[in-house]
Structure 1
Amino acid sequence: MRRRTFLSWASVGWVMSRVPAVLTAFLAACQGGQKSASGMQTVGKVAELDQKGFLQTESPAPIAVVRNPADPKSLLAVNPTCTHQGCLVAWKAERKAFECPCHGSAFAPDGSVQKGPATAALAKYEASIDGENVVVKL
């Protein structure tokens, strides 16, 4: 075997041995946030939730979290993508509802439809407080 051929194959082997590590790092970066052993994803801090009245994030998925108006010790988390035409809804604390700026749909804190044109509820997630963090199970 010629030296050039050997070095070419050795280089290919070295590059291929690095692919799993690169893919693992890439997937971890794409998932964002920190995932606990229970499968819960950190989406923000309790202090930020209490200061702003809601948390909204795009990573690892679109998620909106608010305190349950009926029980402030519990949290409600939904996918804030309007089920009518896909606009992102906004939390309106004074009305205790998520409202769509595009066509006026309104959703209760638990994601159920209060006012159309949307007819389907927002997807819900399990949410809780873990120390200083707000975590959501996706």
Structure 2
Amino acid sequence: MKRREFLNWVGVGGVASFLPMAIAACTPSGESAAEVSNTPGNFEAVGTVSELESQGQILKENFQNGAISVTRNPENAELLYAVNPTCTHKGCLVDWNAGERKYLCPCHGSEYSPDGTLLKGPAEENLPPYLVKIEGEQVLVQAI
């Protein structure tokens, strides 16, 4: 075996043996990466199921760095949507219109579907989505 081949094998072996240690060092102690994303600390309560049922929407204007809006999917009430209801055009807070089943921007007329997909401009981007779930009576949205 030539010296260059030997050094290549030693280099590859060194990197391969170091990799598991690097991964273990970056994982919080006692938790796998999958467990970290599902811990209760990553979700914040924004309202209750009864609020969602009675009002058709949960709007929390002081969620992290902005606002959060939670609605039910009009086609399947088992599915929830959570979006940042700040219009991506000029930053106005969009209104949920339950009758039309969409968000309407009062400033410049942009329209968004319940999941935040842009339907009509002048905005050019969708509303940012969040993960949302129900636990017991609480509606929880994933904190960033």
Question: After TM superposition, is the score higher than 0.5?
Answer: yes
CA displacement 1:19-60 (0-9 Å, x = unmatched) = xxxxxxxxxxxxxxxxx6251110001101000000000122
**Count of aligned residue pairs for this structure pair:** 103
From 83, 93, 96, the equivalent of 2:88 is 83
1:119-138 paired onto structure 2 within 5 Å: 119-138=124-143
1:1-138 paired onto structure 2 within 5 Å: 37-61=40-64, 62-138=67-143
Q: 2 CA distance for matches of 1:53 and 1:60?
A: 19
What is the identity, as a one-letter code, of the residue corresponding to 1:51?
S
Shift of 1:69: 1.2
RMSD: 1.1
- The structure number with the bigger radius of gyration is 2
Q: Secondary structure at the match of 2:52?
A: helix
Q: 2 CA distance for matches of 1:72 and 1:37?
A: 24
Q: 2 CA distance for matches of 1:137 and 1:59?
A: 14
Q: Secondary structure at the match of 1:72?
A: coil
Shift of 1:74: 1.3
Q: 2 CA distance for matches of 1:38 and 1:72?
A: 26
Q: 1 CA distance for matches of 2:130 and 2:107?
A: 24
The normalised TM-score by structure 2 is 0.69
Structure 2, unaligned stretches of length 5 or more?
1-38
The normalised TM-score by structure 1 is 0.72
Shift of 1:71: 1.4
What is the identity, as a one-letter code, of the residue corresponding to 1:95?
E
